[in-house]
Amino acid sequence: MNKLVILWIGFLLILLDVHASDSSIASSDGDNYQSLGIQVNTVTDKGAWCWFADPRALHHENESGTINNTYIGYIDAHGAIKATQINHLTKKTNEILIRSWFQPDDHNNPTFLVLPDERVMIFYSRHTDESCFYYRISSKPGDITTLGKEFRLETKDNTTYPTPFILSDDPHHIYLCWRGIAWHPTIARLTMPDENDEVEFNWGPHQILQSQEGVGGVRPYAKYKSNGKDKIYFAYTTTHPDNQSVNWLYFNYIDVNSRSLNDINDTKLATIGSADLHIVDATSKYLNDYPDAVAEHTPYRNWLWDISILNEDMPVIAMVRISEDKESHDYYHVMWNGNEWQETFLSNAGGHFHQTPGLEKCYSGGMSIDASDPMVIYGSIPIDGENGSVYELMKFNVGHNGELVSSEQLTFNSAKNNIRPFSISGRDNELNLAWMHGNYYDWIVSSVRPDGFPTSIRTNMMLPTGIIDLDKGLLFHKENSVTSQDIMQTIDVPNSKSFTVAVSLSPDYGDSCNKILDTDAFIYSIEQAEHPRPYIEVGSHKFVSSNLLANSDSWRTANRGTGGHWYEPVKLTTLQLVVTYENDVLRTYIDGLIDQSVEVKGLSLSRILTTKFKGVIHDIRIYNRSLSQHEITNIY
């Protein structure tokens, strides 16, 4: 009898394990992933990124064990900058609206920095055409669901690809690198956020170097990594590979103590901030003069994808060698072995991955160096499968002698392309990847290609969702409750110290009465201005959102390009607004994304008061508990 029980328990455990495995790799678009590949989960249905603004995702885990979070940032084709936070302690996943109505361009993905007090700072900027950065900082350590207000950090030159660092030799400042002055690598030092979360430049901005003096349109592309102490390493190109058929790669570092620019063998090339810039060129003379500054000088349209300095004595570069006609892309692992740069061919990567012929033909599927092992590179290459030739993810292992040890396919039989992988650092040395998935037409939304980049973001990490029970705790539910001719009547519910109020509505933005919800716990309203912005009132306190009830779909009718225009926001005609309260946190959601989090003690809800709101409320629900974000997104 005992043996039978043990056998039945074992059989049930096997069934449960199989079911868990199947559910973990389920795909929203019906992709058929084989069991030998990695699990595939969708972080967001709408998201994209470029590969030069980093870290676009990171993991933060503190020694005390109170924080264990992964942050993944992206932008969608409607101009919404967003991020997902995976809390590995509470097993919760949240998606946050960082900024609505932004330039809908995939170069504008956010980047993350953990401050000394463990709060998370998020940087973002427009692509080349605005002289400022934007940033927001979480109110609580490690928790980006509590972002504070948006700040604007002015510069004198354009800003693209913000990459921030904090170094232990100068722990009271932030070093920020980007493509700025004259379209070149640029660096500046910022003060730490003050009591109002404001920062300012206190050194720079300074152009780091000059590529091909006197040649117009030169744009070096750089990737940065720091040793966390005193150096910022970076690899960069001569220019964009479209601009010239011979595009070299260079590798330098900045010593923040001496502010010097150095080659890999510590030879000083220049002083950052001085009048004399180091001049970089793709010529035999430059190679003879500065042999240790050049990492790659073959006569191809080389481009850069990633760097690693886990071992500072043996840094690694992931690069692509593109043919003269741009039709053939080859992936390489390039490592400094102490004497020279050692190149390892990984794979042919086809041509450009996207769906628009003749556009951005140097856009490879993409590569990322493993965050814990620089001898491993993940790459996106076209592979024939059940759905034809589709870009799948591959894992390449390189030996220290420069030989390709192994190649392993990670995704199988995908319906759409898997591109621009990113290895997320800091989580138990496990395989933690995120990547873009889907069709891709252009890096910016315009009248030429209004769909832009309708991709999703996927990961192999588990994404906890929790149980969905939309009947549990439901106190009141009514559809078509208010029309423009009606007045919302008072709704009484049992007094609740935790609650959710969810409404689906079509606002009347010209309505002189801006109250949407008037309750005995809070008031939710829309500012009556040209750009509608929601706010919440609790007693005498007013908390205004950093986001508009609008998107950037007006770019769909505009000319293609980065001309610096702020086209009119398109007001949301129908939206879902949700307010939850639990553990002294009042939280608001716009269309399922976290918008505001406000700490306020002692609230309780028992009455929705009469309002003269003249829009249309299609649906209203009241709960005596705080719904999870996953439940909220499943209401409508």
Q: What is the DSSP string of 293-335?
A: GEEE-SSSB-EEEEEE-SSTTS-EEEEEEE-TTS--EEEEEEE
Alpha-carbon span 411 to 382, nearest angstrom: 11
Alpha-carbon span 191 to 199, nearest angstrom: 5
pLDDT digits (tens, 9 = 90+) for 20-62: 333 333 333 444 444 468 999 999 999 999 999 999 999 999 9
Cα four-point dihedral sign 548, 553, 559, 561: positive
Q: Hey, what are 451's tokens?
A: 């769909």
- Together in a domain, 130 and 154: yes
Q: What is the pLDDT of residue 29?
A: 42
> Is residue 360 in some structural domain?
yes
Which 8-state DSSP code applies to residue 114? E
Buried b (16+ CB within 10 A) or exposed e, 84-96: bbbbbeeebbbbb
Alpha-carbon span 382 to 390, nearest angstrom: 5
Alpha-carbon span 298 to 283, nearest angstrom: 11
* Nearest of 429, 427, 451 to residue 441 by alpha carbon: 451
Number of domains in the chain: 2
> Is residue 198 in some structural domain?
yes
- Together in a domain, 73 and 208: yes
- Together in a domain, 405 and 429: yes
* Single residue among 459, 484, 516 that ends a domain in this structure: 459
- Together in a domain, 413 and 535: no
- Together in a domain, 242 and 288: yes
pLDDT digits (tens, 9 = 90+) for 518-528: 999 999 999 87
State how far the alpha carbon of 323 is from the alpha carbons of 239, 343, 347, 576, in Å.
Answer: 16, 17, 14, 49
Angle at the Cα of 423 from the Cα atoms of 420 and 424, rounded to 5 degrees = 125
Host H or E run for residue 12? helix 2-24
- Together in a domain, 505 and 584: yes
- Together in a domain, 224 and 107: yes
* Single residue among 431, 459, 487 that ends a domain in this structure: 459
Q: What is the pLDDT of residue 1?
A: 40
pLDDT digits (tens, 9 = 90+) for 167-216: 999 999 999 999 999 999 999 999 999 999 999 999 999 999 999 865 56
pLDDT at 444 over 70: yes
> Is residue 18 in some structural domain?
no
CATH number where 626 lies: 2.60.120.200
> Is residue 28 in some structural domain?
no
pLDDT digits (tens, 9 = 90+) for 302-337: 999 999 999 999 999 999 999 999 999 999 999 999
Q: What is the pLDDT of residue 481?
A: 58
Strands (E), 8-91: 41-44, 57-61, 68-75, 81-87
Alpha-carbon span 544 to 533, nearest angstrom: 7
**509 pLDDT band (50/70/90 cuts)?**
confident
- Together in a domain, 526 and 443: no
Give the mean model confidence (pLDDT) for residues 602-631: 92
- Together in a domain, 530 and 631: yes
pLDDT at 279 over 70: yes
Q: What is the pLDDT of residue 91?
A: 95
> Is residue 11 in some structural domain?
no
- Together in a domain, 566 and 455: no
- Together in a domain, 239 and 270: yes
pLDDT at 111 over 80: yes
- Together in a domain, 384 and 499: no
> Is residue 190 in some structural domain?
yes
Q: What is the pLDDT of residue 483?
A: 52
* Single residue among 459, 488, 514 that ends a domain in this structure: 459
Mean pLDDT score of the chain: 92
Q: What is the pLDDT of residue 486?
A: 54
**482 pLDDT band (50/70/90 cuts)?**
low
User: 260 lies in which domain range?
Assistant: 41-459
Phi/psi at 557 (5° precision): -105, 5
* Nearest of 243, 355, 263, 382 to residue 303 by alpha carbon: 243
Q: Is the separation of the CB atoms in 241 and 247 below 8 Å?
A: yes
Question: Which has the minimum average pLDDT: 92-101, 206-215, 625-634?
Answer: 206-215
CATH number where 64 lies: 2.130.10.10
